[in-house]
């Protein structure tokens, strides 16, 4: 069954590469208009928006800055007049041993980008969706939210765990306003952000931890986001969907 998202406007943060790019492309192929958020690579984001078509457009914002988060949402609304779905995908994965002098700065930056920005955008979306009578929020978390991560990524795991509570609270609190919220929890995904780690340890070392034979790719997550964006799975609101090749099942 082909899902038709024609007429829907969807904001995807961190959409210029990696998981976000895969999501944006899949949404576009289903007919959606995509607001392609990027932080630095304007050329790449604008090219992607053009390739997606459907009047899609690129939007710049530094998600570490609260005012920039608010401006991003307002710019999307001013451009398209409405939003149907918010996908909080953008995130950072900083290597921060506790011995490093930059540990606290890295912790603050990680929570600001991975969690606070998602909360600010979700708040704006909820206020907007309430007026429209419906809307969907899809948050990209991590298996690390449930099984933890290594000592160099304490902040990353904590930020992704915060997204779990944020998603469940939105689902429980705003369902009667027509708002649904979902959480996707990937494991290792073959992206630019993970390239250094994959090259350091090798794919075989990582796939040993998987139930399947291959590393997850962005295209493996995208179909589920398309389904959730369609509204066909709204009765699964508040749920967590593991897409991690069976490396963590809860």
Band the pLDDT of 250: cuts 50, 70, 90. Answer: confident
Distance, CA of 221 to chain centre? 11
Q: What residues contact 244, with CB distance under 8 A and at least 6 apart?
A: 143, 185, 186, 187, 188, 210, 216
The per-residue pLDDT for range 154-189, each reduced to its tens digit, is 999 999 999 999 999 999 999 999 999 999 999 877
CB atoms within 10 A of CB 111: 17
Q: Average pLDDT, stretch 97-107?
A: 97
Question: Helices 117-132 and 154-174, interaxial angle, to 10°?
Answer: 10
Q: What is the pLDDT of residue 119?
A: 98
Band the pLDDT of 240: cuts 50, 70, 90. Answer: very high
The per-residue pLDDT for range 186-238, each reduced to its tens digit, is 987 756 665 566 556 566 656 777 878 788 888 999 999 999 999 999 999 99
Q: Average pLDDT, stretch 16-42?
A: 96
Q: What is the pLDDT of residue 209?
A: 75
Which of 37, 129, 27, 18 has the alpha carbon at shortest distance from 79? 37
Q: Rounded to whole angstroms, what are the CA distances from 198 to 19, 67, 106, 190? A: 16, 35, 22, 8
Catalytic residues: 156
Instruction: Report long-range pairs for 55-58 (Cβ below 8 Å, ≥24 apart).
Output: 55/80, 56/24, 56/28, 58/16
Can you give the pTM of this predicted structure?
Answer: 0.94
Q: Domain 9-243, what fold?
A: Rossmann fold (3.40.50)
CB 126 within 8 A of CB 179: yes
Q: What is the rounded average pLDDT for all residues in the chain?
A: 93
The per-residue pLDDT for range 126-160, each reduced to its tens digit, is 999 999 999 999 999 999 999 999 999 999 999 99
pLDDT above 90 covers a percentage of the chain that reads 83
Half-sphere exposure at residue 87, Cβ-oriented, CA atoms within 13 angstroms = 33
Sign, CA dihedral 19-178-237-3, equals negative
In a 10 Å sphere around its CB, with 0-12 CB exposed, 13-18 middle and 19+ buried, how is residue 142 labelled? buried
In a 10 Å sphere around its CB, with 0-12 CB exposed, 13-18 middle and 19+ buried, how is residue 131 labelled? exposed
């Amino acid at each position: 069954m082909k899902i038709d998202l024609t007429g829907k406007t969807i904001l995807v943060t961190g959409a210029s590469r990696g998981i976000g790019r895969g999501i944006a492309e899949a949404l576009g192929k289903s007919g959606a208009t995509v607001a392609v958020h990027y932080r630095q690579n304007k050329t790449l984001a604008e090219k992607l928006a053009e390739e997606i078509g459907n009047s899609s457009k690129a939007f710049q914002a530094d998600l570490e800055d609260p005012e920039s988060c608010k401006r991003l949402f307002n710019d999307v609304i001013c451009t398209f007049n409405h939003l149907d779905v918010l996908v909080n995908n953008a995130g950072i994965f900083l290597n921060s041993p506790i011995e490093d002098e930059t540990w606290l700065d890295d912790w603050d930056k990680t929570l600001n980008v991975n969690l606070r920005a998602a909360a600010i955008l979700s708040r704006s979306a909820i206020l907007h969706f309430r007026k429209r009578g419906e809307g969907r929020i899809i948050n990209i978390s991590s298996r690390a939210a449930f099984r933890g991560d290594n000592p160099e990524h304490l902040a990353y795991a904590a930020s992704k765990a915060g997204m779990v509570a944020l998603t469940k609270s939105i689902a429980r609190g705003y369902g009667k306003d027509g708002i649904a919220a979902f959480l996707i929890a990937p494991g290792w995904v073959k992206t630019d952000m993970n390239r250094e780690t994959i090259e350091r340890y090798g794919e075989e070392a990582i796939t040993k931890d998987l139930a399947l034979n291959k590393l997850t790719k962005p295209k493996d997550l995208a179909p589920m986001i398309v389904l959730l964006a369609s509204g066909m799975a709204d009765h699964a609101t508040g749920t967590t969907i593991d897409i991690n090749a069976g490396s963590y099942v809860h």
